[in-house]
Amino acid sequence: GQQLNQSPQSMFIQEGEDVSMNCTSSSIFNTWLWYKQDPGEGPVLLIALYKAGELTSNGRLTAQFGITRKDSFLNISASIPSDVGIYFCAGLSLNTNAGKSTFGDGTTLTVKP
């Protein structure tokens, strides 16, 4: 089946630093999604990408849909303590039954004040 490799697995950064994480796959996706999960809560959709090469921002967050359609990147600028959580990428393929998403294993972000 389709698999996503999300890296890094965890990050420990100082408040104010920029953060980068990415997802790669051997399969092509038509949509890339980025979610954030706060401790004890459900994931919340941050950014959705629909076209190869697309670059989309949501406040301090910027995500890109890779040209090959096999990868995506998420950047967080000037991190703050409330950025702490788990960030998941997800890929959607038109060929996937029921529109199921394939999820990465997550990047756990810790921000030191």
Residue 54 found at the interface with another protein (CB under 8 A): no
Residue 74 found at the interface with another protein (CB under 8 A): no
Look at residues 58, 54, 56, 55 and name the one whose alpha carbon lies nearest to residue 46: 58
Q: Which stretch binds another protein (CB under 8 A): 20-28, 58-66, 77-85, 87-95?
A: 87-95
Given candidates 11, 21, 23, 33, which one binds another protein under the rule CB under 8 A?
A: 33
From CA 20, how far away is CA 44, in angstroms rounded? 19
Residue 108 found at the interface with another protein (CB under 8 A): yes
For residue 36, the tally of other CB atoms under 10 A from its CB is: 21
User: Which residue, 18 or 50, has its beta carbon nearer to another protein?
Assistant: 50
Residue 26 found at the interface with another protein (CB under 8 A): no
SS3 51: coil
User: Which residue, 77 or 86, has its beta carbon nearer to another protein?
Assistant: 86
Given candidates 12, 14, 26, 42, which one binds another protein under the rule CB under 8 A?
A: 42
From CA 53, how far away is CA 39, in angstroms rounded? 32
> Which residues 6+ apart lie within 8 Å of 59 measured at CB?
none
From CA 32, how far away is CA 50, in angstroms rounded? 7
- Contact footprint for another protein (CB under 8 A): 30-31, 33, 35, 40-45, 48, 50, 88, 90, 92, 94, 97-101, 103-106, 108
